Amino acid sequence: MTPKKRTITLTDRPPVLIVEADWPVIAQADWHDGKVECQANHIRTLRIRKHADWRILVYGIYGAGPGGVHADFRGAHAGFLIEAVLDNYNRRTMNTAGVVAAIRDVAASIGDPALGDECLANMPAEVLA
């Protein structure tokens, strides 16, 4: 079986092609106008994917919904690849500050800062000892 792939548009660099199974979604937030999504004219999505090596993809779109938009509509795409950092024990871990900054930048780029707040709240909880 051929693995499902996805092309993700990034900010200030060419798009990346990933195998979805290697980059599971760890948090997401979605918005649409209208009462029901299947009739929405506009959508916004923000996704966070994590690779096993702790790299993180943060990306979002403002696009046409299933209900259609006017002919001159121009959406927006934004995204960042955040490299892992080393912790005090020289282990790779998530660059939390980089991820938060990327969420804020992507949400602003697609015109919905509140969506960034929602996506950040949907991140896996950090375990404190």
**Mind listing the pLDDT tens digit for each residue in 2-27?**
999 999 999 999 999 999 999 999 99
**Whole-model pTM?**
0.93
Residue 97 lies in a domain: yes
The predicted-structure confidence for 25-73, as pLDDT tens digits, reads as follows: 999 999 999 888 889 999 999 999 999 999 999 999 999 998 888 889 9
Residue 127 lies in a domain: no
- Domain encompassing residue 45: 5-121
How many domains does the chain divide into?
1
3-state SS string over the chain? CCCCEEEECCCCCCCEEEEHHHCCEEEEEEEECCCCHHHCCEEEEEEEEECCCCCEEEEEEEEECCCCCCCCCCCEEEEEEECCEECCCCCEECCHHHHHHHHHHHHHHCCCHHHHHHHHHCCCCCCCC
